[in-house]
Chains A and B, each alone.
Chain A
Amino acid sequence: MIQINNLIKSFEETQVLKGISTIFEKGKTNLIIGQSGSGKTVFLKCVLGLFEATDGDIVFDNTSLKSMDLKTRALLRQDIGMVFQGSALFDSMTVEENIMFPMKMFTDADEDEIRDRANTAINRVNLIDANHKMPSEISGGMKKRVAIARAIIMNPKYLFCDEPNSGLDPRTAILIDNLIQEITQEYAITTVINTHDMNSVMEIGEKIVFLENGLKQWEGTNREIFKTDNEAVTKFVYSSEMFKKIREIYIKESN
């Protein structure tokens, strides 16, 4: 579980996050949604520790990030898996080497053991015949799978994904969403996903946090988002006619 308490982040005079509090529960896919510039990426980077929060606190399973010394923070990072928007695979390494990298860096396991674990992760994300390919030789969807495999090889407690299905075709995007949700439940991970994708919101949003101008405007589940009257949320989520119709049908059926 990750608890965020009144998180504030400023860059010089500009306050980007204006006091956000929420809880991301274990074994659930937690989604952060909002328009571009709403503060989603800054929020994610603060939680990850890539940006130092100006004020407020982030608590990882009862341990406050503020109270952690550098050594504890470094250990915490080994419990974190991250899937970047552009996958962030290391260009100079093969797919297999990319996935093996965290274990090579942080464990004393021998080469065979690391390779076994990598192959387990590769099978889990359904990557076929890609072990010895370079990142430049595989498709966008495969890159995302490699990034997920690399993120889960250390059995992380927390998984962060920054727009995991951006740039993917709708079918692959759904496959990636489902894969993340399955992994979250299977390994009981606390997963936080930054997304713009409304399909993801509807499909895997077990908890949704809506940000606008650095403030949390709304939070709830993918069922509750259909019923909400919050103007900011409805403007953002139901901006397309298709989603408006889906909402109408859902409300009719539930009545």
Chain B
Amino acid sequence: MKTLTHIGQYVLMIQKTFGKFTKWNVLKILIVREIDDLILGSLGIISFISFFVGGVVAIQTAINTDNPLLPGYLVGFATRQSIILEFAPTFISIIMAGKVGSFITSSLGTMRVTEQIDALEVMGVNTYNYLIFPKIAALTLYPFLISISMALGIFGGYLACISGGFSSHADFVEGLQLDFKTFHIVYAFIKTFLFAMLLATIPSYHGYFMKGGALDVGKASTTSFVWTSVAIIIANSIVTNLLLT
């Protein structure tokens, strides 16, 4: 029953987010600020993780497929597939649930605790639109972040293989180009976009409807991370079943 109440409240929140719109002059500033906080602010950590995890994926693949009967291009192929299909869209999204999700929940939670949301409501502001819509708008740029993650992940894999002597340049590039399906990129971006919406709305829900004091802001951030991760994993499973099988 409680779960149903939460789901109902979450759906109503999204409906109200697209209700009475805030003045464009104010809204555009909020969107730019959110792009800076949520997208540009995540660029560094996403690049760092993608580059090194891409390297590790390539090295692991090379070490575990060192049978001379297996073709040399396998390392490049496996690195490309794992990064484009899963690592960049799904696992980066889970990392983002920790980074961006906690930020959204704690900032909205703090606004709730310090009565800033009440102050907006008393003024007659549609607080859902004012606070949540700019986050959704900013996270529509999330696929660009994932594109960078894909590129850096593959580049990291390439550098690790070449510098470690696990593969030759020709073999790795051949693997990258082998059996390339454009639909895999489309699939990756469809789920990236879906995850972006989950990343914007689930942490917003946990922050907006938070009750209690400062300690509860921390608890809400943790709960928000858990539920956003769960939602991403479930959505990933559904989308993969629908689009790839």
Q: Which A residues are within 8 Å of any B CB, using their own CB? A: 48, 50, 73-78, 80, 82, 84-86, 88-92, 101-102, 104-106, 160
Contact = CB atoms under 8 A, between A and B. Distances in A.
B119 A104 contact: no
Given A105-B125, A106-B124, A84 B23 contact: no
Interface of B: 20, 22-23, 25-26, 33, 110-111, 114-116, 118-119, 121-125
B62 to A, nearest CB: 48
B118 A50 contact: yes
Contact of B118 (A84, A104, A105, A106): A84
Given A86-B115, A88-B118, A90-B116, A104 B123 contact: no
Given A78-B123, A88-B116, A105-B22, 11 more contacts: A75-B124, A76-B124, A80-B123, A84-B118, A86-B114, A88-B119, A91-B114, A101-B123, A102-B123, A105-B23, A160-B122
B114 A88 contact: yes
Contacts of A74: 20, 124
| Interface SS, A side | mixed
B26 A104 contact: yes
Interface of B is mostly: helix
Contacts of B111: 91
A76 B121 CA distance: 12
A50 B115 contact: no
B119 A84 contact: yes
Nearest to A78: B124
Given A105-B22, A105-B26, A50 B121 contact: yes
Nearest to B30: A92
Given A86-B114, A88-B114, A105 B123 contact: yes
Contacts of B116: 88-91
